Structure 1
């Protein structure tokens, strides 16, 4: 190893997990053993080859793809990615091996097994990271991810991480002019393509190589002929974790950051690989490739560990809800796909939608299933039998993964909630026009809907139907207000907390019934009043504030109250989990001190004030 190259290598290796956690001198000693090799496009490293020392490979520049012995793609790798470590242990016999192929000129750093083993003796924790079994590596990630430095990823927004460099072009520009814009003007690896002020495509430098140069396409042709159509985008205030999940789910490397239909930046995989070994991402990846319901069910302890770590880490409660929702989304999609693999392809278009806390991105350890199926209007009776089986198998599958069945049977397995689009539209029309008790209960569940699998257009159509019906019957909002103010925040005349008066939870405070649900109801009313298409409680209040319906003070007060109460509930549930008990929403007032009592009462007063304001604004019969 040339001494002149060593500092550059040490600096590069030192930013890659887990090498970033070992002392500089030990890292320098390891790097003295590194060999540098260059692979031309198409050159192969056969990791099944016997008779030579196994090594760990680090991609410095370029890109590789791994293919199994049967030719199936295993993974694609770029700068800072590692491969070869599953072969570092001599007892590995459950993997048939794979080959690594350079898909462009690639520079590799090669770390011999002997050098790694010397490092492992001094730092055993590094050995777990490179263990051959995935569950051991994942446990290692679960153990180490919660350093103070890495905790912050959960509360970081996309805008904090994304690059501001992105080319913006139009669909009729030539390939050459777009390439010029990308390279010489913006120095960006990606261009977002607009047509009539609408984002219609995306093109990357890799696409230019594969779709233009490789096929000899004239650079005078319009970029629309080679771009990726209808690209996925991300919002600046979305979680980095959400962006990483989207990239993994759809196997993409670039996400334009869009606000008000304007591209303000670009998020790439390189933004996410620097020390972001987030345990939720590992679990979502495992869920994605689980082969059976039984395997999915075995992940419950990891899901609980993530919840506990988030709460202990004092992560914002709305963020905890989003992370747990992403995990429930992953479970639901995978169970649906496993069932479809068994039943065969769906006979007609459909949408699996979720409702309640799942739709609001507010999942927690007690969240049950609220779901429905929307079928195409041309669905036959035979088609409906297929979806009846699908719904039963999916809901039971999720139940076996510790997502409880809905006690009220608001699930796709209930025939009433597995209907064609036209029937669902008639439901919304009837519920809004005559919001009697039972119908109000029905629509309260399905006022928040979100597509998990299938045709997402149905969700949009139903939401538009809802808004249109409410515009025609403003009395509906006053009906919701009547329902929302039937329960009062828990403040008694002697300034003591209102407790459950009977039953097994006697002398406890039901924090869900007397606080959380009241806030959710109020957010729903204000959100519908301003026709907000978002379902999350905090997003609905924000929309009402931005529209001028909710003052800045009222907005800040209710958001502060909501966050405190959610944190309070999460802490209570965390304590139950640690003690091996079933988490619930019933809190013994003797378990909290004057600090909690004072802040809870403040929060309850804020809820009561907002109930009064809603009464005045929307009317109460």
Structure 2
């Protein structure tokens, strides 16, 4: 290599992740091993050529395509992009691999395997950037981005905070025996009561004072005479913020932590006050007691501040979605109650159901309203007039609090989406049996539903109806797959190949259209295939993995891709908010560094691979 090129090589590779993080001396040593090759348009790189040491390839100028053995596009690459690292792993020797083809005249830098191994030995953190498995590379990226330092107790899991001390007794025990178990044996402020292996009640030391001592109840009476029946519980993986919200909503001080019907701990208010709080918990409390929609409107800047704090604090994207969902839930419930105060008690049983990102617990700063009302089958025409007014108050109230109206009018305020249970059951039957464009659009919105107020049984009935209809018509999943693969992820993000015109004619990448929506669609398909009752994207993939129709590698890959892309979008929205701009999903690729570009390409390839897998598994169902 001519010495005159040496400074240019150092300058170029020194700006590429992760070489931008190594000392100058190590960078110079690495650059001394670089080889240079020139490819004409159409020329193919043989990564497995006999007698040639395997290398990492960096595109200096020009562009390349990677194509799998069957000719399917794997990725398009431009200047500063890297390829060839899957061939650095000995375990990948038998991999059928891919071809790299120059789609214009291209200049490549080659870093030999031996030089990289020497770098990895000196700087082990660099090795993960070139792992053969995409989920390892994505995880290393997230580990760099997300700090595990103190993030506040309320975005931790219940299992991290709850006490293991809790008394567990049976319903036939006397008050005296239970008190002794609480005070002497377990030293717990609470006892959970079982009957026939089922949790039936709870008693606290305060209950003992108010219900036993104050009323002179005999301590030889059964504990069942004074216990609180059907206690609320939480799971060890629930957010502490969720548990605290439940405590405030129902004015309780103790929550048993239950896993597989077994009590494994206790969360109390003392666990919360011993630690510092995050602002979200106070906002939910203020929303609960707001006496007007005007008061709720004033909390919008605070909600935005919470989102900004969560993103800046490098909190996991799925946690951000859950926190923002709990806040939107609180707004919705409070406005429903304000409407009921104004209109009078509901004339019949009903359920206020949310759909879309709200139902999936994936709310963000761009989430709009997707909702419906399911009425009891005995609802009259006059009853429907009442609920029409209620829905209008709620929809307009949420809009005034900066939760936009749904552009497609998938809201409870639209008469079509405020119907008795029997009509909703007919909707699902029709949509699954004849998934034409309009039906597919309707069901895509209501494939995930969640009750935020009212009779939760209606939600369960409709979900069972959906699963039953799909069981009878497996072609429905095939139709969903065809729709899900109509849009391809951006396997190339340079030279405007997958960019769209946005405001002021800027060329941008719509990360929602070309990535996030594709992952959500795939999660729906896999979740429905195993009749998963959960709506969150990660939960659906987990259910499919547990049932064995999504491999461990595919599950880890798609989850890592989803988390990285969500964080990428949140960071983009945060920047817009801080600049006083309207947040959106359109990202200018000119602002991608090599770090973002490399990991986004990994994520996009993972999406494309899962689309292909879904097509093979579900696409040919007859």
1:191-231 Cα distance to aligned partner (Å, 9 max, x none) = 11222222221111111111122112222332222111111
- Deviation of 1:148 after TM superposition, in Å, equals 9.4
The answer as to 2:256 corresponding to 1:281 is no
Specify the SS of the correspondent of 2:534. coil
For 1:439-489, what per-residue CA distance to the aligned partner results, in whole angstroms no more than 9, with x for missing partners?
Answer: 111111111111111111111111111112222222211111111111110
For 2:498, the equivalent position in structure 1 comes to: 498
Aligned ranges 1:211-360 → 2 under 5 Å: 211-360=211-360
CA distance in 1, matches of 2:496, 2:558: 21
Q: Name the CA shift for 1:497/1:179 in 2 (closer, same or farther; >3 Å).
A: farther
Deviations 1:383-431 (A, max 9, x none): 1100000001110010000000000000000001001111111111111
The one-character-per-residue Cα deviations of 1:349-397 (angstroms, maximum 9, x if unpaired) are: 1111100000110000000000000111111111110000000111001
Contact 2:493 2:589 in 1 (8 A): no
Match of 1:160 in 2: 160
Partner of 2:53: none
Superposed CA deviations along residues 542-567 of structure 1, whole A, max 9, x for unmatched, are: 11112222111111111110010000
1-structure distance, mates of 2:193, 2:346: 34
Report the CA distance shift for 1:239/1:493 in structure 2 as closer, same or farther (over 3 A).
closer
Tell me the distance in 2 between the aligned counterparts of 1:148 and 1:521: 31
Task: Determine the C-alpha separation between the residues in 1 that align with 2:505 and 2:527.
Answer: 33
Aligned to 1:594: 594
Which residue of the partner structure matches residue 184 of structure 2? 184
1:395 aligns with 2:403: no
1:353-502 alignment, distance < 5 Å: 353-492=353-492, 498-500=498-500
**5+ residue gaps, structure 1:** 1-146
* Distance in 2 of aligned mates of 1:319 and 1:157: 10
Written as runs of structure 1 = structure 2, the 5 A alignment for 1:517-596 is: 517-596=517-596
Cα distance in 2, alignment partners of residues 327 and 226 from structure 1: 35
Q: What's the secondary structure of 2:340's corresponding residue?
A: helix
Q: Secondary structure of 2:423's partner?
A: helix
Residue 496 (structure 1) shift: 7.2
Pair 1:246–1:217, CA change in 2 (3 A)? same
Contact 2:154 2:241 in 1 (8 A): yes
Q: C-alpha distance in 2, partners of 1:242/1:605?
A: 35
- Distance, in Å, in 1 between the alignment partners of 2:580 and 2:398 is 22
Three-state SS of the structure 2 residue aligned to 1:163 is coil
SS at match of 1:508: strand
Could you tell me how far apart the structure 1 residues matched to 2:182 and 2:477 are?
A: 50
Look up the match of 1:514.
Answer: 514
Give TM-score scaled by structure 2 length. Answer: 0.74
Compare CA radii of gyration and give the structure with the larger one. 2
Alignment-derived partner of residue 193 in structure 1: 193
SS at match of 2:151: helix
Flag the structure with more relative contact order, 1 or 2, with Cα contacts below 8 A and sequence separation at least 6: 2
Which residue of structure 1 aligns with residue 117 of structure 2?
none
CA contact (8 A) 1:491 1:497 kept: no
| Contact preservation (8 Å) 2:493, 2:499 | no
CA contact (8 A) 2:573 2:583 kept: yes
Distance 1:258 1:515, change over 3 A: same
Question: After alignment, is 165-174 or 280-289 more displaced?
Answer: 165-174
Taking a change above 3 Å as real, the CA distance of residues 149 and 619 of structure 1, as seen in their structure-2 partners, is closer
Q: Tell me how far apart the structure 2 counterparts of residues 264 and 452 of structure 1 sit (CA, whole Å).
A: 28
The answer (yes or no) to whether the contact 1:158–1:243 under 8 Å persists in 2 is: yes
Deviation at 1:341, TM superposition (A): 0.7
Secondary structure of the structure 2 residue equivalent to 1:373: strand
Cα separation, 2, equivalents of 1:362 and 1:613: 25
Q: Shift in Å at residue 497 of structure 1? A: 5.5
Shift of 1:506: 4.9
Query: Per the alignment, do residues 292 and 535 of structure 1 end up closer, same or farther by CA in structure 2, a change over 3 Å counting?
Result: same
- Asked whether the equivalents of residues 388 and 413 of structure 1 are also in contact (C-alpha less than 8 Å), the reply is yes
Greater mean alpha carbon deviation, residues 493-502 or residues 346-355: 493-502
Alignment partner, residue 172 of structure 2:
172
Q: Is the 8 A contact 1:155 1:239 kept in 2?
A: yes
Give me the whole-angstrom Cα distance separating, in 2, the residues matched to 1:322 and 1:183. 37
After superposition, the C-alpha distances for 1:502-544 in whole angstroms (9 at most, x for unaligned) are: 7766511000000000001111111111121111111111111
8 Å Cα contact 1:479-1:620 kept in structure 2: no
Give the direction of change, closer, same or farther, for the CA distance of 1:332–1:180 in structure 2 (3 Å limit).
same
| 8 Å CA contact retained: 1:482, 1:620 | no
Q: CA deviation at 1:166?
A: 1.2
CA distance in 2, matches of 1:585, 1:158: 33
**1:84 corresponds to which residue?**
none
Q: How many residues align?
A: 475
CA distance in 2, matches of 1:521, 1:197: 39
Distance 1:398 1:494 in 2: 39
Does the CA contact (< 8 Å) of 2:154 and 2:277 recur in 1? no
Change (3 A) 1:362 1:178: same
CA gap of 1:247–1:403, structure 2 versus 1, over 3 A, is same
Corresponding residue number in structure 2 for 1:46: none
Distance 2:434 2:381 in 1: 30
Confirm or deny: 8 A CA contact 2:360 2:448 kept in the other structure.
yes
The question of whether the paired residues in 2 share the 8 Å contact of 1:391 and 1:413 is answered with yes
Tell whether the 8 Å contact from 1:200 to 1:229 is kept in structure 2 after alignment. Answer: yes
Report the equivalent of 1:59.
none
Contact preservation (8 Å) 1:287, 1:330? yes
Structure 2 unaligned regions, length at least 5: 1-146
Q: Distance in 2 between matches of 1:545 and 1:535?
A: 15
Shift of 1:150: 4.9
Contact 1:499 1:506 (C-alpha < 8 Å) held by counterparts: no
Q: Deviations over 1:233-289 (max 9, x none)?
A: 111111111111111111110111111221111100011112322100111111111
Separation of aligned partners in 2, 1:576 and 1:494: 22
Instruction: Work out whether residues 194 and 201 of structure 2, in 8 Å CA contact, stay in contact via their aligned partners in 1.
Output: yes
